């Protein structure tokens, strides 16, 4: 053992604060992405005095590890000053931040090696638990506090750049959605003179299917006329040894938060892992559309497989480009319509079918407007792809930095 490896129990202590005064505090939970998230638990009629209070720069973790696959739920709380967490979590804090920096400790907890260690040290018959004693016995390198702060600063520099890129990507996507609304809902696309079409006297015709006027020369079609639905399914003919699996809960508003890497020979493959996808395919969860579990596939490997809980759409690019279909499907009016339809379903959860989506009416613009929009959206996609590639490299740098924590010397 290296000389600077110390048992964690010397530096941390449990937090026992209860919500005895019934303070009006936000309720949070933990995700396997090692983040605090707003809790969706129904607390009506619940005795809130049993909940625990967590404060800024304190940690919490879920001791039951057998429910989380290969990850332990643990996070550092820095969202605001105080919050409530369930008594199922164990809150704790660093005794002296001048000896052990909380952010440095969280870096250690983010390492996949710590996940494996916690799972290995978990014990129990009905359920496996990584208890406080095992947490306290964890050995980790604790260099001088100045070195810790230097490492944290380097890590945060990388993370801040990733966050900045993500904000730019979000802004680009919001801008694209605004352009879609302006051009294809309000019909204020640039006319031949570069002026907004409708407000500058552009010709309009009444459309019976939509119950409103649309520009002259535009047509209305069903989505099924311009795309294929669920075009490919994984089979024995595919030579995949490993697949990347995406479930419906792991993408929201085109943001993938986790992909499962599964070995087809060794791992238990979810029965819903069946739909093959390609670049520019659109995936849309058929359960509770308002939760916005949808996205458009960009620059992903060929072995990406998605759940049958998604409807997969592949646009006929001779007739329309994928981003236009995606903008239509994710427009607030479309989502609200599909959610209302889902609420009328007789299934266990509010849900729709693929047919509900492909039978939607869709306006097809004239070629000039279509080509102009295609170029605008391509420029947006090129910028997003550039930022995503940069973030991929930055994420690799973060992983490398975390891996080097074991070699840190004073």
Whether 188 and 252 map to the same domain: the answer is no
Q: Which of 29-43, 126-140, 242-256 has the lowest mean pLDDT?
A: 29-43
Whether 166 and 133 map to the same domain: the answer is no
Whether 89 and 183 map to the same domain: the answer is no
Provide the pLDDT for residue 284. Answer: 97
More confident residue, 406 or 156: 156
Whether 37 and 126 map to the same domain: the answer is yes
Whether 253 and 116 map to the same domain: the answer is no
Provide the pLDDT for residue 67. Answer: 67
Domain range for 33: 5-142
Whether 78 and 121 map to the same domain: the answer is yes
Alpha-carbon distance 90 to 65, whole Å? 13
| CATH code of residue 226 | 3.90.220.20
Whether 77 and 194 map to the same domain: the answer is no
Whether 360 and 223 map to the same domain: the answer is yes
- What residues are paired with 94 via a beta bridge? 12
Tell me the average pLDDT across 253-262: 87
Residue 145 has pLDDT above 80, yes or no: yes
Structure pTM? 0.80
Provide the pLDDT for residue 23. Answer: 66
Residue 42 has pLDDT above 70, yes or no: no
Provide the pLDDT for residue 20. Answer: 63
18-36 burial string, b = 16+ CB within 10 Å, else e? Answer: ebeeeeebebbbbebebeb
State the average pLDDT for the chain: 91
Alpha-carbon distance 220 to 197, whole Å? 19
Residue 47 has pLDDT above 80, yes or no: no
Nearest to 294 by CA among 309, 305, 304, 279: 309
Whether 84 and 169 map to the same domain: the answer is no
Binning pLDDT at 50, 70 and 90, where does residue 360 land?
very high
Provide the pLDDT for residue 154. Answer: 96
Q: What is the SS3 string spanning the chain?
A: CCCCEEEHHHCEEECCCECCCCCCCCEEEECCCCCEEECCCCCCCCCHHHCEEEECCEEEECCECCCCCCCCCEEEECCCCEEEECCCCEEEEECCCCCCCHHHHHHHHHCHHHHHHHHHHCECCCCCECCHHHHHHCEEECCCHHHHHHHHHHHHHHHHHHHHHHHHHHHHHHHHHHHHHHHHHCCCCECCCCCECHHHCCCEEEECCCCEEEECCCEEEEHHHCEEECCCECCCCCCCCEEEEECHHHEECCEECCCEEEECCCCCCCCCEEEECCCCCEEEECECHHHCCEEECCCCCCCEEEECCEEEEEECCCCCCHHHHHHHHHCHHHHHHHHHHHHCCCCCCCECCHHHHHCCEEEECCHHHHHHHHHHHHHHHHHHHHHHHHHHHHHHHHHHHHHHHHHCCC
Whether 24 and 136 map to the same domain: the answer is yes
231-251 burial string, b = 16+ CB within 10 Å, else e? Answer: ebebeeeeeeeebbbbbbebb
Q: Which of 63-77, 154-168, 226-240, 261-275 has the lowest mean pLDDT?
A: 63-77
Residue 180 has pLDDT above 90, yes or no: yes
Binning pLDDT at 50, 70 and 90, where does residue 408 land?
confident
More confident residue, 408 or 52: 52
Whether 210 and 223 map to the same domain: the answer is no
First to last CA, the chain: 15
More confident residue, 33 or 177: 177
Residue 146 has pLDDT above 90, yes or no: yes
Provide the pLDDT for residue 407. Answer: 81
Whether 243 and 352 map to the same domain: the answer is yes
Tell me the average pLDDT across 311-329: 94
Please count the structural domains in the chain.
3
Residue 110 has pLDDT above 80, yes or no: yes
Provide the pLDDT for residue 1. Answer: 45
Binning pLDDT at 50, 70 and 90, where does residue 44 land?
low
């Amino acid at each position: 053992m290296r000389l600077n490896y110390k048992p964690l129990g010397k530096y941390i202590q449990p937090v026992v604060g209860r919500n005895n005064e019934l303070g009006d505090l936000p309720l949070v939970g933990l995700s396997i992405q090692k983040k605090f998230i707003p809790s969706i638990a129904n607390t009506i009629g619940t005795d809130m005095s049993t909940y625990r209070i967590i404060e800024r720069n304190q940690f919490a973790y879920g001791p039951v590890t057998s429910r989380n696959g290969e990850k332990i739920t643990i996070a550092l709380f820095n969202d605001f000053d105080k919050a409530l967490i369930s008594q199922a979590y164990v809150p704790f804090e660093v005794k002296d931040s001048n000896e052990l920096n909380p952010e440095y400790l969280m870096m250690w907890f983010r390492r996949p090696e710590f996940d494996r260690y916690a799972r290995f040290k978990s014990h129990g018959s009905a359920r496996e638990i990584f208890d406080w004693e095992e947490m306290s016995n964890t050995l980790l390198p604790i260099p001088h506090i100045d070195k810790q702060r230097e490492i944290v600063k380097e890590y945060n520099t990388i993370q801040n750049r990733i966050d900045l890129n993500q904000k730019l990507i979000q802004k680009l996507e919001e801008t694209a959605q605004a352009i879609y609304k302006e051009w294809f809902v309000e019909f204020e696309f640039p006319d031949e003179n570069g002026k907004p079409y409708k407000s500058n006297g552009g010709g309009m015709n009444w459309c019976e299917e939509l119950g409103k006027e649309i520009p002259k020369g535009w047509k209305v079609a069903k989505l099924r006329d311009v795309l294929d639905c669920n075009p490919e399914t994984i089979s024995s003919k595919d030579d995949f040894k490993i697949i990347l699996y995406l479930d419906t809960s792991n993408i929201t508003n085109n943001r993938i938060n986790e992909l499962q890497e599964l070995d087809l020979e060794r791992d238990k493959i979810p029965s819903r892992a069946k739909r093959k996808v390609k670049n520019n395919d659109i995936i849309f969860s058929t359960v509770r559309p308002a939760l916005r579990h949808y996205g458009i596939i960009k620059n992903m490997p060929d072995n990406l497989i998605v759940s049958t809980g998604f409807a997969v759409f592949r646009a006929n690019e001779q007739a329309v480009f994928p981003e236009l279909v995606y903008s239509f499907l994710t427009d607030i009016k479309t989502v609200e319509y599909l959610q209302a339809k889902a609420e009328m379903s007789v299934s266990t959860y509010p849900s729709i079918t693929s047919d509900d989506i492909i039978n939607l009416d869709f306006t097809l613009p004239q070629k000039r407007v279509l080509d102009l929009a295609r170029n605008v959206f391509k420029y947006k996609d090129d910028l997003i792809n550039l930022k995503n590639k940069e973030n991929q490299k930055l994420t690799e740098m973060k992983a490398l930095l975390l891996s080097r924590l074991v070699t840190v010397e004073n």
